[in-house]
Amino acid sequence: MPYEAFVATVRERGSYESGEAKEVAEAVIAALGRRLTPEAAEHLGDQLPPPLAEVLAQAPARSETWGVEEFCAHIAALLGTDTETAEEYARTVLTAVADQVTGGELNKVISRLPSGYAAFFGHPELAD
C-alpha cells in the first residue's frame, strides 16, 4: 500500500483531516518503533510504506519496555493531547498497520509486546 493510501485509511477510520492523519500516523509509528527492538522494527518496516519504515528506523537502538499506558502517554506527549485520545489514535493507526502486513509479521510483532497491545491491532484474541 502506498504511503498516501495508508494515510487515507487512517484519515477515514479516524475521521481526521488530511494533515492530522499524517501527523497521527507518524507519531504512533514512531512510538511503536521505540517500543520494538531494532530488528523487529526493521522487519515490520519492510512491509510498510517507505516513509513509515523510515520513522521506524529512526527509533533508538534500545527498545523501551512500555506497557500500554506508557505507550499511550508517549503518543499523547508527542501529539500534545490526552491519553484517551492517544489510545484512540493508536487503535486507528495500528489496525491500519495490521491490514498492511502479513499475518505472520503481525503475529511476530504482537508476540513481542505485552498482551494489551493486541487489541490496538484489532486482534485481542492474539493476546497471551
Q: What is the pLDDT of residue 27?
A: 96
Q: Give domain limits for the chain.
A: 3-126
Q: Which CATH class is domain 3-126?
A: mainly alpha
**pLDDT average, residue stretch 60-72:** 84
64 pLDDT band, cuts 50/70/90, is: confident
pLDDT-derived band at 38, boundaries 50, 70, 90: confident
Alpha carbons 46 and 123: distance in angstroms, whole number: 21
Which of 33, 11, 34 shows the shortest CA–CA distance to 22?
A: 11
pTM of the model: 0.93
Q: Which residue has the cell 501527523?
A: 23
> What does the alpha-carbon distance between residue 71 and residue 38 come to, in Å, rounded to a whole number?
17
